[in-house]
Amino acid sequence: MLRRSLFAIILGIPLAFGWTQDVPTSSFLPESQQRSAEQAAAREEELYRDGQIDLNESNWQAAAEKFAQVVALKGRRADAGLYWRAYSLNKLGRRQEALTTIAQLRSQFPQSSWLKDAGALELEIRGAAGQRVSPSSAEDDEIKLLALNSLMNSEPERALPVLQNFINSAGTSPKLKERALFVLAQSDSPKAHQLLLAIAQGQSNPDLQLKAIEYIGISDIKDSGAVLGKIYASTNDQRIKRKILHAYLTSDNKQALLAAAQKEPDPELRREAIHQLGAMNANAELRAMLQSVNSYEDKRAIVDALAISGDTATLAQIAQQDPDPKVRRAAIRGLGIAGGPQAADMLVKIYTTANDREMRKAAVEGLFIHDAARQLVELARKESDPEMRKYLVGKLSVMDNKEARDYMLELLNK
C-alpha cells in the first residue's frame, strides 16, 4: 500500500487523506498571466498558513504582519486576512488599529462570511476599553478546555453552553477553537453533535466550518450524511466540497461519494471523487462508471482509481480493449501501481505481444513501478530492437535493486 501511495503521488493522484491545495486558475488567461496568478495564490496560502501558526504560538506581531501581506495580495483570503490582522492587533493592545481594520473589512467586503466574527471581536474590543490584553489568557483557555473536556464526559448538559461560548468567543485562539470542536466530535451527546453540524453548515467562521466537516467525517453522528450532502449541494466553494469528499471517504459513505463522482460539474472535484472511490475499493462502481464516461480525463481518473484499489483484472482488460490508446497506456502503467503477484506477468505478456512501441514502453514503466527488476532484465537480454533495449537499460540503471545492479556489471564486462 505504501508503494502504491508513493506512485500515486508521482502520477499526480490525490491521496485519500491528503490536503489538496486549492489554487484558482483560469484557462482563459495567457500562460504567463496564469502562471503569475498561480504563484500569487500559492504565496497567499503560504502566508495565511504561516499567520495561523503565529496565532497558535501567540506571536501576535508576526501574525499581524503576515495577515497584512495576505490583505495586500488582494486574493480570496483578503477578508480573512483583515479579520485575523484585527484579532492580532487587539492581542497586541493596539485597539484603535484593530477597530480600523474591522471597519476596512466591512467596507471592502460587505458580504464576507467573516463579518459575524468581526462584530463579536469589535464588541469585545470596545467592552475592554482601557484594559490591556493579558498574555496569560491563552494558558487560561487551555485550562478551561481541559475542564470542559472532563465535564463533557460526565455532565454534557452543563458543559455544552460553556463550550459553545468558548467557540464563539472572539478572544479564543484558532488552535483552541479547533480543539473545542474535537471535544464536541468525541462526545456522545446528541446536542453536541447538533452544535457541530451547525458549525459545519457555516454558522461560525469559515475556517471552523472546514474543521467541523473534517471531524464529522471521523465521528459517528446521526444524519451527518444528509447534512453534508445539503452543504455540498448549496456551495460553490472548492475547499468546502473537497473537505466533504474526504469526509465521505472517512465515514465510508460510498453512495454520496458515487453521486459526487457522477454528477459534480466541476471536473477537478469530479475526478477527486473518483479517486476517493478507488481508495474505498469501490471497484464495481468504478467499472460501471467506465461504461458511461466519454472524456479521456474522466477515463484516466477511473483507471488511476482502479490502480489505487488494486483491480488488476479490470486494468488488464482496459489495457487490451479500450479504443483510446492513451487510456490503454494509462491502464498498463496502472498495473504497476496496483501490484500483486499477477501484475508483473500481465505486463510481460503485454510487452511481448504489443506491436506498438509506445505500448511496450508503457509496459516497461509499469514493470519499473512494480519494481520487477528480474522481468526487466530478462526482457532486456532478449530484446533485439536497439531503441527498446536502450529504454529497458535506462530504467534498470536507476533501480536500487541487486538484480538490476548485477545486470549493469554484466553489461560493463562485455
Q: What pLDDT, in 10s, does the model give residues 186-224?
A: 888 889 999 999 999 986 678 889 999 999 998 888 888
What's the rounded mean pLDDT across residues 124-136? 58
pLDDT of residue 147: 77
Higher-confidence position of 154 and 183: 183
Give the global pTM.
0.69
309: Cβ–Cβ under 8 A, 6 or more apart, which residues? 278, 279, 280, 281, 282, 283, 286, 338
Tell which CATH classification among 1.25.10.10, 1.10.3210.10, 1.10.1370.30, 1.10.10.10 matches the domain 310-414. 1.25.10.10
pLDDT of residue 289: 93
pLDDT at position 163 over 60: yes
CATH 3.30.360.10 applies to domain 26-127: no
CA distance 341 to 333: 16
CA distance 96 to 406: 73
CA distance 189 to 259: 30
What's the rounded mean pLDDT across residues 330-345? 90
pLDDT of residue 39: 82
What's the rounded mean pLDDT across residues 32-47? 79
Task: Answer yes or no: are the C-beta atoms of 257 and 280 closer than 8 Å.
Answer: yes
Task: Answer yes or no: are the C-beta atoms of 200 and 192 closer than 8 Å.
Answer: no
What is the percentage of the chain residues whose pLDDT exceeds 90? 52
What's the rounded mean pLDDT across residues 256-284? 94
pLDDT of residue 364: 95
SS3 338: helix
pLDDT of residue 33: 64
What's the rounded mean pLDDT across residues 323-339? 93
What's the rounded mean pLDDT across residues 117-141? 64
What is the percentage of the chain residues whose pLDDT exceeds 70? 88
pLDDT of residue 164: 86
Mean pLDDT for the chain? 84
Q: What is the pLDDT of residues 50-65, one digit of tens each?
A: 998 888 888 999 999 9
What's the rounded mean pLDDT across residues 229-242? 92
Q: What is the pLDDT of residues 80-107, one digit of tens each?
A: 999 999 999 998 989 889 999 999 998 8
Q: In which band, very low, low, confident or very high, does the pLDDT at 78 lie, cut at 50, 70 and 90?
A: very high
149: Cβ–Cβ under 8 A, 6 or more apart, which residues? 183
